Structure 1
Amino acid sequence: MKKISLLLCIILLYSCKSPAQDKEKEVTYPVSKTETEWKAELTEMEYYVLREAGTERPFTSELNKNHEKGTYVCAACQTPLFKSQHKFDSGTGWPSFDREIEGNVAFSTDYKVGYARTEEHCATCGGHLGHVFNDGPRDTTGKRHCINGAALDFIPAKDGK
């Protein structure tokens, strides 16, 4: 009797998991291009980060130590993502911000390293930006948006404003 009960429990556990649950929802973005079009428009590193969800090596982005006033935009579609006044030096080797421009960054959950992380994407083209963590400046939002510099272009402020 115990064997039958155990067998029934195992069957119930496996029957609750359907292949439909494994499929990620297909998300569409306002800017949508073929992989060939993206490859033609982006540098090799931009493509690796934005389209393949890669990560650039730390301390390699010139934007990491950029202290100019301006706006950081998506390198693929030029959507404004972060403002310079929200940038801080996290010491991690990647440009870090305590907040995004609301509505321009989308979030999802990523399990690629064996545990859940909050992944950030451009809400306009779906390009991978980086991840957000809860170890940012406590005197502001407490968030650290850890962003690949290769995913960003910088637009300096006019007249330093």
Structure 2
Amino acid sequence: MLFALGFLVVVGGFCFMSKPFRLLFLTVFCLSLVYGYSVSYHVNGSGPEVDEVKMLLNLYSLNIGLFLLACYLGYQLNASHSAEMYQRRRLATFKFLVKWGVIYAIYSFVVQKIINKFMDDGDIGFFVMKAFGLYFFAFFLFLVFAVPWLFRRLSARS
């Protein structure tokens, strides 16, 4: 059931994407699959190294982020009334992503170093910040969908 739902989300996302983003996403996705297949587990049978797992998680995060960005920009392209409106929306989206991306990267780097220092392990901070990023993303999606619903519900009562 979950696989079917995921398949429908991906097919729907591909319908929104523009052709260049679709090609870019498929290229990154295929390269991620090739890298995932070629990690040392398949080469010598001893299992992947920690650095390979880190790279694989980063590639999968890149895939998810690129998929969401391509879907969002495709939606904005379809929802815009003119090319100028789409250009303004796209520019605003990229400004938002750069600003908050830099803030999150600095925060993630600092917290990762603090965790590594106190835990005496060079890798635990990476995995903690990946888990934090996943939970933060889920909370962000909850806010995006729940807050407008709550405002509509409260304004209907007034």
Same fold (TM over 0.5): no
Structure with a larger share of its residues in strand: 1
Q: TM-score, structure 1 length as denominator?
A: 0.24
